[in-house]
Amino acid sequence: MKDIILFDGICNFCNQSVQFVIKRDPSHIFHFASLQSDIGRNLLNEYGINENVNSVVYITNGKAYVKSDAGLQIARRLNGFWKLLYIFYLVPTPIRDLVYDYIAKNRYKWFGKSDSCMIPSPEIKKRFLE
């Protein structure tokens, strides 16, 4: 099974986050789909996650992570010192998710949104699920 990151395809911050992950994932561990895509909606349904989820979703080894858990699980698999962010797992989930929710709630206001999902380059497109 592939490691899959589901993200908000119209969120500028989320799109930049995907680009950030791609640059730090030379082994091509991660594959991507927008939450708005058919695959994204099907995976949310398969893992029992509400379609209106206001979070990145990370699916690996048959388990889905959301909010700060997803972000930290992704960070620990990136190249470089980003793995060190995993230490924030020591912070209780409700506190981490409070910060996550605050950013998620304001992401459109702070970073804007697009009318459509990003269009990846041909070499990156192979990592996106259709």
Q: How confident is the model over 7-52, as pLDDT tens digits? A: 998 888 898 999 999 999 989 999 999 999 999 999 999 999 998 8
Amino acid in position 5:
I
Domain span including residue 38: 3-125
Whether 29 maps to a domain, the answer reads yes
Whether 80 maps to a domain, the answer reads yes
Q: Name the domain count of the chain.
A: 1
Tell me the C-alpha distance between 43 and 37, whole Å: 10
pTM given for the model: 0.88
Whether 130 maps to a domain, the answer reads no
Whether 28 maps to a domain, the answer reads yes
Whether 17 maps to a domain, the answer reads yes
Whether 43 maps to a domain, the answer reads yes
Determine the 3-state secondary structure of 113 from DSSP.
strand
Whether 61 maps to a domain, the answer reads yes
Q: How confident is the model over 59-101, as pLDDT tens digits? A: 999 999 999 999 999 999 998 899 999 999 999 999 999 999 9
